[in-house]
Amino acid sequence: MDVLLNEQETLVQETARTFLEAECTPALVRESEKNEEGFSRGLWKQLAALGWLGLSLPEEHGGQGLPVTYLALLLEEMGRHIAPLPVHSTLVPATVIAKHGTESQKELLSEVVEGDAVLSFALQESGGRWSENAIELTGDLDGDGIVLSGKKLFVADFQHASHCLVAFRWAGQVGPDALALALVDTAADGVAVHQLQPLAKDQECAVVFDRVRVSQDSIIRSAAAVKDLMDYAAVLMACQMQGAARKALELAAAYVSQREAFGQSIGSFQAIQHLAADMLNAVDGAQLLSREAVWRISQNLPARVEVAQAKSFANEKCLFVCRSAQQMHGGIGFIEEFDINLWYRKVASWGLRAGTTYEHRRLIAQALLDTPDRVRLGMTQHLPASRSSSGLNGEAKKPDSMHQKMDGPLHAEP
């Protein structure tokens, strides 16, 4: 894989950046934090009119049918400009529906592309864990439909969504194969919403499903779809975080280049220079890991561990970058009215969504240490410990690419 962008990818990213630089100012972000909707409806319609919401959705539903790598670039720019838009909460479930949904479910995608529908997804529950094993909301068969009962936490943009993709477990069943998704009308009887107050000051809530009835046609009967929902949510959030962290770094670098002390810019001081170097290493590392994970997903390769690497790294390093950017601004950087505070608050909140550092670390460690057979990097499949590490001709085999890691560990579950 080449993580460098080709000509078309560069054009897409630069076009998105130009649009957002002109339309999504810090003033708009602050205004959106104060209004009832929590996002800019006007900017949302502009985004839809330009075709950005259909970037990676099927052409037959009005989208452009581009690989998910293009969607990742859009999320990088959304993060860079901390855009007050439900792009992540809408396009994550939309992408899952496009891949796993029925034809009737996919009819909703055209509304997403046109900007007429906001979507949401609900996975985490009372324990807050980002894990298939933590899903306890139950689905009971009831005649020609099913009944959902339980509570979901940290659900983004549910209040403004027309539908929510809800992960549930079939009643009386255990294990990851007992999981499925339900596309629930947010106005259905039995749904109760409670507003939460995240640090990002956006729309996040708790949702109670009290015997909410949905039709059989609204079910995605696939445990794989639940895993894809988790992977898309985590890696695209990592992309969004690193986009925001890179902008925070640029703001800090510009400030220390012009702020003077003792007759020279403070950017000339070694302590500031070394901190800036660490910040750049952190942002570039987050970008490389997230782009690798997205590329593997786009190629239908196992990517669970790569996704966990990207999100756990972004959680720590992107927050470090934003904190350091505040520090480089001095005392003014910690004042709420100062713009750099916006980037810090968003990244700090996003780091707790779609899996914390510790949850993703656990998955990585499980793949690396809890696998009974030998872990061999550079090979496409898992070999037992009794097998030789040499090739068929007795010579050591050379890895074909940086992505050829063992499928065994990559499928480890949290």
Q: What is the pLDDT of residues 354-404, one digit of tens each?
A: 999 999 999 999 888 876 655 555 444 444 443 333 333 333 333 333 333
d(CA 412, CA 228): 14
137 backbone dihedrals φ, ψ, rounded to 5°: -55, 130
Structure confidence at residue 37 as a pLDDT band (50, 70, 90)? confident
pLDDT more than 90, % of the chain = 69
Question: Residues of CATH 2.40.110.10 domain(s) within the chain?
Answer: 122-221
d(CA 137, CA 93): 18
pLDDT digits 0-9 by tens, 127-163 = 889 999 899 999 998 888 899 999 999 999 999 999 9
Question: Residues of CATH 1.20.140.10 domain(s) within the chain?
Answer: 225-362
pLDDT digits 0-9 by tens, 39-48 = 888 999 999 9
Say which CATH class 122-221 falls into: mainly beta
The CATH T-level fold of domain 7-117 is Butyryl-Coa Dehydrogenase, subunit A; domain 1 (1.10.540)
CATH superfamily of 225-362: Butyryl-CoA Dehydrogenase, subunit A, domain 3 (1.20.140.10)
Helices (H), ranges, 114-184: none
Q: Which of 197, 189, 118, 111 is nearest to 148 (CA)?
A: 189
Q: What are the CA-CA distances from residue 34 to residues 9, 38, 40, 95 (Å)?
A: 34, 7, 11, 30
Average pLDDT over the chain reads 87
pLDDT, average across residues 263-289:
93
Q: Which two tokens stand for residue 396?
A: 């050591």
Residue 275 pLDDT more than 80?
yes
Q: Which of 194, 232, 241 is nearest to 76 (CA)?
A: 241
Residue 304 pLDDT more than 50?
yes
Helices (H), ranges, 153-269: 223-258
Separation of CA 37 from chain center: 21
d(CA 48, CA 300): 27
Which comes out higher in pLDDT, residue 230 or 199? 230
